[in-house]
Every structure is written in structure tokens, then in C-alpha cells.
């Protein structure tokens, strides 16, 4: 086996140490000493240590995306100077958002109950969750964590002053604010619920996402639209009084 091919095992498999690579080469009929593998990796500019694995948070999020759900709260101030809090969950793999509840007082018992409701809504799909990311707010109590731990989910609190650890949830909050709530004068709880639920439905069913190949979360399993032509007809749907517009082909 030539030198570049041997080195490629290290470059293409960052979790493999020099002994792991030697074992793989032996399985391919390549009789090579451990010291030789070490030297080849060093000459190729690759750390031969078994601790070469990329342990960064970004790598963890990427590799475990399909098993991660994140949650967070964000607040909206109404026209009458009342502050309401919106609790939501977002699936890292599909980017699908679930609005869990709206309240003026996000107490521990209230949030814990919303967690139970969320898992009930998921049904059998709850078994696909392995990790839950949340911040360290006092409203996320031990009882909240216990709801998820009871179904085998590991709860991961973010580090203090590290919002990037919950970047997917933070990004959704930013999108919701920029595209909806910051552009509407919210009058109360019912109005806020209507706006947030309408935006979440748009986000899940229509809004394109770069991480999903410019497709929305819900239609990921549906066929791609037909290629457009000069005769293609397009319909428009207005949401939130025309604040958001959706376009689709007419069948």
C-alpha cells in the first residue's frame, strides 16, 4: 500500500489513532509496523495520537443532529407594556419548531407541564431523542429535567454566557422576531399566540432552510416540485395580513 493511501486513513478518519489504523491495514493485507504508521502520519502532517478526535461542540451538534432537541424561552412586550414568554422546542435534524406554550410567569411547574405535553404530542417519535439542550434559567428545574430523563434523554445545560451552545434555538428566535413579532404591534396573549403559531406553521411548512437544501422541515419526505417552465402557474398565499407571502406551483 503506497504512502498516500496509508496517510488517507488518518485524514479521513479523525477518530482513529495509529494503532487503529495499523489494525485496519492488517485487515487489508498490509503488514506494517506500528512505528511505521506513526512515522507516515507524522510526515503527512497528521497527529498520530489516538486523541486526535475533534471534540468541538460544533462537531458534536453536527454528528448528533438527528437525536438533538433544543428548548428555550423568549419574551415579547405587548402594546400595553405587558411581557409574555414563549416556550418552544426545536428539532436539530429537521429544524421543526413546536410552540409549547405562552405565559406571563414561566414558573418551574408550568414549564415542566409543557415538557410533559410536548412528549405526549411526539408519541413514539420521542424515542428518537437522545439529547436535550437548554439554558441554565431557574425555570428549568430538576423536575423539568426528570421528565426527559425518564424516557432516556440526556439533558445538556449550556455553559454560562455561552448562547452559541444553543445556537439553533437562538437562530429561530431571531428569525421569528425579524420576520414576525418585531413587525407587528402585539396586543395580548391571544394575539401573540396567533402570530407565533402562524409563523411556526410557515417556518415548518414553507420557509426554505439552507441546512436542509433550501427545503422546509415538514415537506422533506415529499417529492421535489416539478421543474418550472414558461407555462408554470404560481399561486400566492398571504400570512399575517400579508406580512409573509408564500408561493407555490398550481397543480
Q: What is the per-residue pLDDT for 23?
A: 67
Instruction: State pLDDT tens for residues 168-177.
Output: 999 999 999 9
Instruction: State pLDDT tens for residues 182-216.
Output: 999 999 999 999 999 999 999 999 888 877 777 88
pLDDT tier at 58, thresholds 50, 70, 90: confident
Sign of CA dihedral 41, 43, 49, 51: negative
Domain 59-212 belongs to what architecture?
2-Layer Sandwich (3.30)
Instruction: State pLDDT tens for residues 120-144.
Output: 999 888 889 999 999 999 999 999 9
pLDDT tier at 4, thresholds 50, 70, 90: very low
Query: Which of 113, 119, 92, 83 minimizes the C-alpha distance to 101?
Result: 113
Query: Which of 134, 130, 138 minimizes the C-alpha distance to 162?
Result: 134
Query: For the whole model, what pTM was predicted?
Result: 0.74
Q: Which residue has the higher pLDDT, 79 or 61?
A: 79
Q: Which residue has the higher pLDDT, 199 or 3?
A: 199
What percentage of the chain carries pLDDT values higher than 90?
49
Q: What is the per-residue pLDDT for 222?
A: 60
Residue 99 has pLDDT above 80, yes or no: yes
The structural domains of the chain, with segments of one domain joined by +, span 3-43, 59-212, 224-249
What is the DSSP code (8-state) at residue 203? H
Query: Which of 194, 203, 208, 206 minimizes the C-alpha distance to 241?
Result: 194
Instruction: Give dist(CA 244, CA 170) in Å, integer.
Output: 21
pLDDT tier at 18, thresholds 50, 70, 90: low
Instruction: Give dist(CA 139, CA 136) in Å, integer.
Output: 8
Instruction: Give dist(CA 136, CA 156) in Å, integer.
Output: 10
pLDDT tier at 2, thresholds 50, 70, 90: very low
Amino acid at each position: 500500500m503506497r504512502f498516500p493511501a496509508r496517510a488517507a486513513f488518518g485524514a479521513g478518519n479523525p477518530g482513529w489513532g495509529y494503532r487503529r489504523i495499523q489494525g485496519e491495514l492488517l485487515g487489508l493485507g498490509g503488514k506494517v509496523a506500528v512505528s511505521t504508521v506513526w512515522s507516515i502520519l507524522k510526515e503527512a502532517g497528521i497527529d498520530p495520537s489516538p486523541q486526535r478526535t475533534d471534540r468541538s461542540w460544533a462537531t458534536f451538534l453536527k454528528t448528533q443532529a438527528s437525536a438533538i432537541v433544543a428548548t428555550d424561552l423568549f419574551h415579547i412586550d405587548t402594546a400595553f407594556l405587558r411581557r409574555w414568554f414563549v416556550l418552544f422546542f426545536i428539532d436539530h435534524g429537521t429544524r421543526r419548531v413546536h410552540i409549547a406554550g405562552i405565559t406571563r410567569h414561566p414558573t418551574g411547574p408550568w414549564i415542566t407541564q409543557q415538557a410533559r405535553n410536548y412528549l405526549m404530542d411526539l408519541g413514539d417519535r420521542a424515542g428518537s431523542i437522545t439529547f436535550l439542550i437548554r439554558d441554565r434559567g431557574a425555570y428549568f428545574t430538576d423536575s423539568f429535567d426528570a421528565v426527559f430523563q425518564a424516557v432516556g434523554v440526556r439533558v445538556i445545560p449550556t455553559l454560562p454566557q455561552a448562547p452559541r451552545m444553543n445556537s439553533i434555538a437562538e437562530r429561530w428566535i431571531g428569525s421569528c422576531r425579524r420576520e414576525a413579532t418585531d413587525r407587528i404591534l402585539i396586543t395580548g396573549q391571544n394575539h401573540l399566540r396567533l402570530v407565533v403559531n402562524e409563523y411556526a406553521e410557515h417556518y415548518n411548512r414553507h420557509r426554505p432552510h439552507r441546512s436542509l437544501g433550501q427545503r422546509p422541515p415538514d415537506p422533506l419526505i415529499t417529492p421535489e416540485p416539478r421543474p418550472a417552465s414558461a407555462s408554470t402557474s404560481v399561486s400566492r398565499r398571504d400570512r399575517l395580513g400579508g406580512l409573509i407571502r408564500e408561493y407555490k406551483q398550481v397543480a
